[in-house]
Amino acid sequence: MCCSLSSRPPTDVGSNAGSIGGLRFDLPEFEKKGVRSYYERNLCQAPPAMTKRNLDERVAVVTGAASGIGRAIAQNLAGKGCHLALVDVDESGLEETRSIVARNDRRCTTHIADVSDKARMQALPDEVAAAHGQVHILVNNAGVSVGSFFADHSIEDAEWVIGVNLWGVLYGCKFFLPHLKQADWAQIVNLSSLFGFFGMPGQACYSMTKAAVKALSEALWTELANTNVSVTSVHPGVIRTALISSSRIEDPEEREKAVEMADKYGLDPDKVGRLVARAIERKQRRLIVGGDARASQWLSRAFPNGFHSMLTFAFKKANVTGMQDQERDPAEVGGARKSPQSTEKRAR
């Protein structure tokens, strides 16, 4: 009786490597050790040879394209020959991105849209199709962040984060899917985060949305498996983008520290852009970018309780506001008391 498990080993890292049970291996070396014979014996089917899809003349929609990761993805897809529909609320940033990708002699349109606006997102696919004729690739990249403990979070800030990070992705997938199914092949790319693997203190709502994006992507892997549409979930670590500087953070000093940390330790957004383009070419299901993201995934899986105990210890040792063992005046919640800074790493 033939097993129905996937015939491909997971390739969770952004390099020519893969992982099984958290152990990294080099694909050519692993193949020498008999992975194909293992699949033939145990799963009744050898994994297919890795083939690259040609992105030339394909139409790609990129949300959050005015800066950061979105701009980098747009540049790299244009370099692969894609025509682009750039989406953002920042009109000047969109024009700057358009002028950059225009050097590749590709057709490029800009669309001012708030991805959390249901009516605007519902109209967007027809608008893009009218300009380009069809849609092959959707990159749900737009994202925002608020640096604050949950008790200090205003409901309005939570609604803002959920609206852009979660509803924006859901609207994109739902409303573009009929157009994507009309193509010979299509790809959805959803930007999650390293915080999609664990809940980060001071980023409760952000972590919630990124875990939800990860779960949505994984559900679509199976639901769309027998269609022409593939799905990729992307989990970047610390990236040098404007996400932190544009986050809603009360304390300017803490904001500056967070920005300095990202500038010092973060990866260049272009690396994410290059790896996303390659993931689309290879129909890669999950892409983890950065050693911090890979370590976070492994630690949260290997030590689900201990990992959060370490976070609690680290936050208390750093004397982070809100982690001290003391009662709080309800009048302080959301008020004068400073909220901890965003240590967020991701990027748009």
Give the C-alpha separation, 50 to 348, whole Å.
30
For residue 333, what are its two tokens? Answer: 């919640």
The runs of H, that is alpha helices, within 163-303 are: 168-180, 204-223, 252-265, 269-282, 291-302
Give the C-alpha separation, 198 to 298, whole Å.
11
Give the C-alpha separation, 332 to 129, whole Å.
50
For residue 345, what are its two tokens? Answer: 């790493």
For the four alpha carbons of 274, 271, 296 and 195, in that order, the dihedral sign comes to negative
Instruction: Tell me the sheet residues that pair with 291.
Output: none
Catalytic one among 38, 39, 171, 206? Answer: 206
Give the C-alpha separation, 131 to 176, whole Å.
15
206 is catalytic: yes
Residue type, 191: L
Per-residue DSSP letters for 276-329?
A: HHHHHHHT-SEEEESHHHHHHHHHHHH-HHHHHHHHHHHHHHTT-TT-SSS---
- Catalytic residue annotation: 206
